[in-house]
Each structure stands twice: as structure tokens, then as C-alpha cells.
Structure 1
Amino acid sequence: MKKLVLSLAVLSLLFTGCSEDDETITPVTPATGEISGDVTASKNYAFGNYTLSGIVRIKSGATVTFDAGSTITANNANGVDALVVENGGKLIINGTAAEPVVFTEASMTPGSWGGIIMYGDAPIVGASGVTTATSEDGLFLPYGGTNSAHNGGSLKYVRVEYAGKKITDGTSEMNGFSFYSVGSGTVLQNLVSYKGADDGFEFYGGTVNATNLIAYGNYDDSFDWQDGWRGEMNSNWYAYQTGTGNFGMEIEAKSVNNAFGPKVSNITLKRAVGTLTENGAAEYDAIQFKKQGNGEYINVLIEGYDNASAVAVRIQDAATNTDQVTGNKIKLTGVKIMGTTPQYGAGADFTIAFPTGQYTTNTTATGASLSAGAWTTVNGVNLLQ
């Protein structure tokens, strides 16, 4: 009897195991479709491959969501393409490290489309202290306000490729990511701007924070801001300039001596040998402060800015030196410079003297700390290597 019970138990386990092994997983068929025009009602784009046609505007009151693993492809032949989040609209991108959401362009040519542009009503301080301004992206939209907690959505594990389009008369430009007076309620995490023809990331005022950013191969500056951007919880920014590139970080404040400034920790700025500026100039500093730009920067690794005219940190004008450097509003701590690049220099005939503790070096500084994965990989190349 005991043998019979044992045999039945063994048979039961065998049949159960076979049943589980026979289970199959049905692959999900990617959705397809075109995204165009004004979005006035909330819309969820399931995992799939979509085309972006023209300037798509997410209007106030509408939320657009993209599922992980989706690819959205613009086409330069259609004219100007861009994804614009107007003030009051929201963009939710639910990428993951293994399944990022990728915005790209069919010809894979830098400068082919306008990237992701987001507007809010967080505070700005523009030229002459104005609190509102008009965008410089050719859309001529207003930005600025009093809503520090503005929420434009959540962008997680997003890669924008081949953006930075120059439009109209050539003076209006789009970047990989453009944030106009975006507020602290917005989530920006694990974003990549890859081979754009303008800046990788640009902040036009606002209070938004951004963590885990990669700017790779952008023609102008990797990171740029103005209009009194005041995000204070930013970390892990990685830039690699190759082929064409201007500054690693261009920091300005529209010539307004603000009492505040941004804060960024864990920064890596690298430049490949032979990389030239857009106009072929030799001055391609890792970090440039101008027009009263300021802020605090912690754990900074700089490599590859070796040129007779380049410095790691440049103070471009005398007013910035007087008000921001000697006024203790620029602070760089834990700076490590690889190679022969001088620590800092002036843009004109004045002397820079950082107050005690406002500029320190550290031979063990590590810069950005990011985990590689599909989100950092383009055409089989890990952007962090």
C-alpha cells in the first residue's frame, strides 16, 4: 500500500512538471501608427513602433503615455518634427533600463528633428529680470510663471536621437531635450540625448531636477541653461563630445545677478581627441560660466580638454567674476582633471581668485556613476565606455 501511494505521488509530480513545461508565452505584436497634430484628449500608446509627423502638441489637460520598449521615428522629409508638451499637458514615458523608449529619425542624421520640448509655468528670471519670455525654438510660445511645483509628467529611460534642428532663419534652434520653465513636480530620470545638432539638454529657467543624464556626440553644448534655472537636486550627468562639440557645460543667467543657483553632483565631462567646435575654434572648455551664471558642482571628472586655448573652468566675463566668483556664488568641489588641461582661466584681461573652499580638487573624484544597459546602448555601442 505504501508503495502504491508513493508511486501515485511520483506520477502526480511528473504530470504536473510536464504541464508547466508545455506552457508557451505568446509574443506581443508591436502596435503601429502615426502620431500627428494636436493632442487634446489623453492617449496611451501601447508598446509599438510609431511615426512622428510634424509638430505634435500635447495640449493643456491632455496626457500622453508611451509604454516601455516603444520606438517613435521622425522623418526629416516631412518638414519640422517635434514632440511638444504645452503648459498644462503631460507626457508620461514608462521606459525601463532593458526596454527604453527611443525617439529617433529615419535618416539618422544629426539635426533632423526637434526633439522633446516641454513647457511649464515655474519661475524664470530672464533678461533684465523679466518673469516671462518667449521661446527660442521657433514656436514663439510664452514661458515663465509662479508655479514652482509645475508637473509636466514623468520621463524615465528615454533616448532622443539625431535632434537639434535649426529652423526658420537659422537663429531658432531646438535641442535634444528642451525644458521651458518646467517645475519640480516633473520627473526626469535616465535620459539620453544622442548625436543632436544643438545642445543635448537645455533648461530655460524653472525648478525641475534631472538625474542620470547622458549627452553623447551633440554638436553644441552637452548641458546648457539660462533664465535662472534653479534645480538643486541633480546628479549623475555624463557627457561625451566626439566629432563636433562646443562646451561640456555652458552656464549663464541672462546677465542677472541672482541670489540662487542650481546644484549638480557627480559630473563627468569627456571629449574625444580631434573633436572640433561648430566653427572650428580652439576654445572648447569643459565648463564655461558667463552672464552671471553660477551654482554648486560636486565630484566633477574632466578629461580630454587638452588644447593650448582650453581650460577646465572658464569665467568668461568680468561681471561674472566679480559677482559670482568673488561673491561666493560659484562653488566647485572635488574636481579631478585628467591630462594637462589648466584648472581655470579668464575670458578677458582679469584675474580669477576663488575664495577659500569655493574651488577644490580631489584626485579620487569619480564623476558620474551610471549603470549600463539597453538604455545606454546604440547600434551595439555602450555610450558609457
Structure 2
Amino acid sequence: MKKLFLSLTALSLLFTGCSEDNDETPTVKVPVVGEITGDLTTNRTLAFGNYTLKGIVRIKNGATLTIDAGSKFTATLSDGTDALVVENGGKLVINGTAAEPVIFTETSQIPGSWGGIIMYGDAPIVAVGGATNAYSEDGLNLPYGGANAEHNGGSLKYVRVEYAGKKINDGNSEMNGFSFYSVGSGTVLENLVTYKGADDGFEFYGGTVSLINAISYGNFDDSYDWQDGWRGQLSSNWYAYQTGTGNFGMEIECKNNNNSFWPKVSNITLKRAAGTLTENNAAEYDAIQFKNQGNGEYSNILIDGYTTNASAVAVRIQDANTNNNQVNASKIKLTNVKINGTTPLFGGTSTVTSVIFPDGFYTTSNTATGASLTTGAWSTVSGTNLIQ
């Protein structure tokens, strides 16, 4: 009887355990299917799903578009110019996670197939001739600039943009992976990836916004680029990997305005794969280029692989004004720099024959680590980890 009682008890526990397991079976999320197009004039939330992005989608002043984690948006080259545009006064809130990023891609997987994410604000800029306002170079010809340093265009977390960087037919206008026109410090940009675009990975047109945890992978032009007096103060953990085609790791300029302000970026990794060539055989092969009065403070920098061209240097000072007014006046500061390989430290051009940084404004270190990023689904494309 004792053995029978134990057996019955064991069976009871077994069936009870099965019942509990069934109760705890996780719910499988089923993605909705939809399309996003046209102007968004009222608040809208897009649940987890697969969406077609068709045409120039504009989030208008006063409207907020919120997107759930894990969603995917697909543009199509054959239907014309596609882009997601946040106009000044509109907001984009993307709630991706490391495990469930929000992905924007294109069906053909050809770099330059669409326009990426473009955001406008009214934070300060310094354009040509010191102007405080300008018009965009993305083919939309929208105004940007203002006095609202704390402009808030929303929150972008764990977002990947693929195959963007569309060239506009006028020959002068281009879109990037992410384009930020006078975006303010109230905007959150964290854990963003731009993958295999035909222009710059990230470009800032003035503004005060900062970018934290970013990957620019395989973009044809510059990995990171800015102008118009961008002055973000809290940027960190920037990673760039140039492969196949790529120009500068970072291109830094200020429309020939000699400023008393500048951006600050810490923890930077700039890598270039062997055999990577510049776009259209241009002489744009350096890790970092300063030109047209570009400046800034940069720390903990790792530079690797910029030896494709015999003339490549880690840091290029492109013109005499930048050398005289920025380098010599202590407005460019690069500290804790590590260069793997034989790339020379810095150099000028035919008009800049000598580059001498003031004491303490260019320092090297064998212990610099560069960007520190946690890998996951957000940084993986087709099984490839983008952090090489």
C-alpha cells in the first residue's frame, strides 16, 4: 500500500506540473500588417507589426508618431522617393529594445534606395555667413534653425536604418541614414544604427542634440558628418566600420564660421576594412577631417585600418583658416588617441604645410578603448555582428 501511495502521489505531481507549464506558456506576439503614407496631423501609435513605408511620410507640427518595439518598415525603390520626416513641432517616439529593435529597410537592399529618417527642429545653427536660418539640402527645401536650444523632436531608441542615403536628381541634394536639422537637446537619440547607405551614416546640421551609442556600418560617404555649428555636448560611444566604399570616418566643418562653441564626443572607434575605396575615387581617405573652421573636443579614440591610401592620416586639417583659428587657438582637442597600424598621426594639405597642436590638445595612449557597446539583435544584420 505504501508503494501504491507513493506512485499515486508522483503521478499527481506530474499532472499538476504539466498543468502549470501549460498555464505559463508565453503568448506569441502576432505582428499587424499595415502601411504608413502621407501627412500625419494627429497623434498615432503603431503597434508591433510589419509596415510598408510609401512616399514622403511627414509628421506635422503638433503630431506625435509612436512605434512599438520590434516593428519593421519597408520602403520600395521603384515607387519613388521614400523617407520618414519629422517636421519642426512634430515628434517621433520609437520604443525599440536591444532584443527588439525597430528596423527601417528597403526591398531591393541597394544602398541609396530611400531617404532614411529626417528630423527638423528650431535649435540654434550657424550657416553660411553666420546666418541663423537655412534651407535643407535633402530635396525638401524646408527651413531650419532658431533659438530653441532645448527643442524636443521625440525619442529614438534602438532603431536601425538600412540602405538609405538617396541622391536627389538635382545633383546637389542628398539624404542620409539619419539627418538632424537644428535638432535640440530635448531630443533623445540612443542606440541607433545606419547600415549600408549611399551617403553619410549620421549628419547633423547645427543644433544641440547629442547621440549616444551609435553604429555606422558600410556607408558610402562619411560615417559621421556635421556642419552649421552643431554643438551637442553629451555624445558618446560612436562606432564606425567602413567596408567596400567609404570616405572619412568623421567629417567636421562649420561653414567657415570661427565659433566660440563646439561639440564634445567621447569613446570613438573608427575602423576601415582592407580594400575599402573612397567614393568616386575622391581624396577622402582619412579617419578624421577638420575643414571650414570645424572644431570640437574628442576623447578616447581608437583608429584602425586607414592605410588604403599612402597619403592617409589619422587627422587631416584641410585648410589654413581651420589650422590658424581652430588648431592654433586651442579649439580642437583630441585626447587619449590610439592608432593601430602605420597611419601617420596628422597632416595638412598643400595650403597647410605644418600642423602643430598646442600642448595637451593632442595626446596619444596605448590604452584607449574607443566605443563600448553591448551587442544584440539591434547590432546584428543577417547573422552578422556589425561591431567587428
Sort the TM-score into its range (normalised by shorter chain).
Answer: over 0.9
Number of the residue aligned with 1:216: 217
* Structure 1 segment 1-385 matched on structure 2, within 5 A: 16-23=16-23, 24-306=25-307, 307-350=309-352, 351-385=354-388
Percent identity over the alignment? Answer: 74
Q: 1:293 to 1:11 in 2, by over 3 A?
A: same
Describe the superposition over 1:74-98 as per-residue Cα deviations: whole angstroms up to 9, x where unpaired. Answer: 0001100000000010001111101
The alignment's TM-score, normalised by the length of structure 1, stands at 0.96
Deviation at residue 171 of structure 1 after TM alignment: 1.1
Aligned length: 384
Number of the residue aligned with 2:3: none
- 1:99, 1:14 → 2: CA distance? 35
- 1:22, 1:84 → 2: CA distance? 45
Q: What secondary structure does 1:333 align onto?
A: strand
- The residue identity in structure 1 corresponding to 2:330 is N
Q: What secondary structure does 1:279 align onto?
A: helix
- 1:281, 1:131 → 2: CA distance? 31
- 1:111, 1:380 → 2: CA distance? 22
- 2:77, 2:333 → 1: CA distance? 42
- 2:74, 2:284 → 1: CA distance? 35
- 1:103, 1:348 → 2: CA distance? 42
Deviation at residue 25 of structure 1 after TM alignment: 3.3
- 1:18, 1:335 → 2: CA distance? 59
- The residue identity in structure 2 corresponding to 1:312 is A
The alignment's TM-score, normalised by the length of structure 2, stands at 0.95
- The residue identity in structure 1 corresponding to 2:101 is P
* Equivalent residues of 1:133, 1:143 under 8 A apart: yes
Q: What secondary structure does 2:280 align onto?
A: coil
Deviation at residue 12 of structure 1 after TM alignment: 7.8
Q: 1:26 to 1:136 in 2, by over 3 A?
A: same
- The residue identity in structure 2 corresponding to 1:371 is T
Describe the superposition over 1:108-130 as per-residue Cα deviations: whole angstroms up to 9, x where unpaired. Answer: 00000000000001011111110
Q: What secondary structure does 2:281 align onto?
A: coil
Deviation at residue 169 of structure 1 after TM alignment: 1.1
Q: 1:178 to 1:45 in 2, by over 3 A?
A: same
Q: What secondary structure does 1:103 align onto?
A: strand
Uncovered stretches (5+) of structure 2, i.e. residues with no partner: 1-5
- The residue identity in structure 2 corresponding to 1:367 is G
Q: What secondary structure does 1:128 align onto?
A: helix
- 1:265, 1:25 → 2: CA distance? 41
- 1:161, 1:40 → 2: CA distance? 26
- 1:35, 1:155 → 2: CA distance? 18
* Equivalent residues of 2:271, 2:306 under 8 A apart: yes
Number of the residue aligned with 1:3: none
Deviation at residue 18 of structure 1 after TM alignment: 3.3
Q: What secondary structure does 1:215 align onto?
A: strand
- 1:282, 1:288 → 2: CA distance? 11
* Equivalent residues of 1:276, 1:282 under 8 A apart: no
* Equivalent residues of 2:319, 2:351 under 8 A apart: no
Q: What secondary structure does 2:78 align onto?
A: helix
* Equivalent residues of 1:282, 1:309 under 8 A apart: no
Q: What secondary structure does 1:17 align onto?
A: helix
Describe the superposition over 1:238-280 as per-residue Cα deviations: whole angstroms up to 9, x where unpaired. Answer: 0011111110000000000010000000000000111111111
- 2:313, 2:237 → 1: CA distance? 22
- 2:344, 2:224 → 1: CA distance? 21
- 2:282, 2:128 → 1: CA distance? 27
Uncovered stretches (5+) of structure 1, i.e. residues with no partner: 1-5
Q: 1:372 to 1:172 in 2, by over 3 A?
A: same
Answer with 32-41 or 22-31: which moved more.
Answer: 22-31
Q: What secondary structure does 1:19 align onto?
A: helix
* Equivalent residues of 1:272, 1:304 under 8 A apart: yes
Deviation at residue 348 of structure 1 after TM alignment: 2.4
Deviation at residue 10 of structure 1 after TM alignment: 8.2
- The residue identity in structure 1 corresponding to 2:361 is Q
Deviation at residue 14 of structure 1 after TM alignment: 5.7
Describe the superposition over 1:137-185 as per-residue Cα deviations: whole angstroms up to 9, x where unpaired. Answer: 0000000011111000000000000000001312100000000000000
Deviation at residue 20 of structure 1 after TM alignment: 1.1
- 2:53, 2:18 → 1: CA distance? 46
Q: What secondary structure does 1:172 align onto?
A: coil
